[in-house]
Amino acid sequence: GLIGNIYSMGLAMQALESAGRFYAPRQWDCSQALSVVSEHHFQLPTAIAQLLPALVGRTYLEAGSLECSSVTRTSRSLQPSLAASAAAPIKVQFSIINQLQGKHFSFSTDVQVPAGSTLLEVMEAAAEEDPTVYSFQTEQTSWGIMVVSIHGLAGNAKDRTYWRFLSGSDALQEGVGLYKPRDGEHIQAVFSTY
């Protein structure tokens, strides 16, 4: 499975590889690592760039000594292929919750979107239905789209606040631009501290 989440797995794999002298050595199995990685949606260039050294059994620190002739190439993609077909609609419950600052609130709505839609598309559909409640703002980062404000309440580095996204009680392992909710899933955006 994942070590941490898609944002930390590449670096965690590199750390384990470079610390190999501290645990029992074993043969590197690139196909096993690739099968674990390909189960997840690594679409962000930064996440993929951090994974690639570990997939060839090297770290960034060892990249200068890599001999390309000794590395076999594969044409296998890290992201799954998507069928270009019309998707049936799914229903997602989306909630926004602030029990932390200012006037507390908790709103929930059911949104219908095509199957395969991202959480960002769910949020856009909720904002379209009721912009006074579900409006939000995003920023583009090197790790993808980050939600910075919902319902006029913005995260703040000084206060160490941000919007945390959960499915049930579990934190999402992907960002809003990549995560694809399932039919009947309940997604919560909870104003939190770190």
- pLDDT, tens digit (0-9, with 9 covering 90-100), for 144-176: 899 999 999 999 999 999 999 999 999 998 899
pLDDT above 90 (res 34): no
- Percent of residues, the chain, with pLDDT higher than 90: 49
pLDDT above 50: residue 111: yes
Which part of the chain is CATH 2.170.130.30? 89-193
Angle between helices 45-55 and 9-18 (to 10 degrees): 20
Most confident of 11-25, 32-46, 95-109: 95-109
Which DSSP category does 156 fall into? B
**50 annotated binding-site participant:** yes
Which residues have a Cβ under 8 Å from the Cβ of 85 and sit 6 or more positions away?
Answer: none
Q: Which range, 7-16, 19-28, 51-60, is most confident? A: 7-16
Rounded distance between C-alpha atoms, residue 135 and residue 133, angstroms: 6
Which residue, among 82, 46, 64, has the nearest Cα to 175 in the 3D structure?
A: 46
pLDDT (0 to 100) of residue 39: 62
For the beta carbon of residue 31, count every other beta carbon within 10 angstroms: 9
pLDDT at 87: 72
Give CA separation, 84 vs 101, 115, 121, 180, 181, in Å.
44, 12, 18, 16, 18
194 annotated binding-site participant:
yes
Q: Which residue has the higher pLDDT, 42 or 170?
A: 170
Give the pLDDT of residue 144.
83
What is the structure's pLDDT at 74?
A: 42
Residue 47: the pLDDT is: 67
Whether 181 contacts 92, CB under 8 Å: yes
Confidence label for 70 from pLDDT (cuts 50, 70 and 90): very low
Which has the higher per-residue pLDDT, 29 or 172?
172
- Check whether 133 has a pLDDT greater than 80: yes
Annotation-wise, does 23 bind a ligand?
Answer: no
- Fold classified for 89-193: Ferric Hydroxamate Uptake Protein; Chain A, domain 1 (2.170.130)
Q: Is residue 68 very low, low, confident or very high in pLDDT (cuts 50, 70, 90)?
A: very low
Residue with tokens 């395969």: 116
Alpha-carbon torsion 174, 179, 184, 187, what sign? Answer: positive
Known binding residue 156? Answer is no
- How are beta strands 144-150 and 153-154 bridged, if at all? antiparallel
Q: How far apart are the first and last CA of the chain?
A: 25
Average pLDDT along the chain:
79
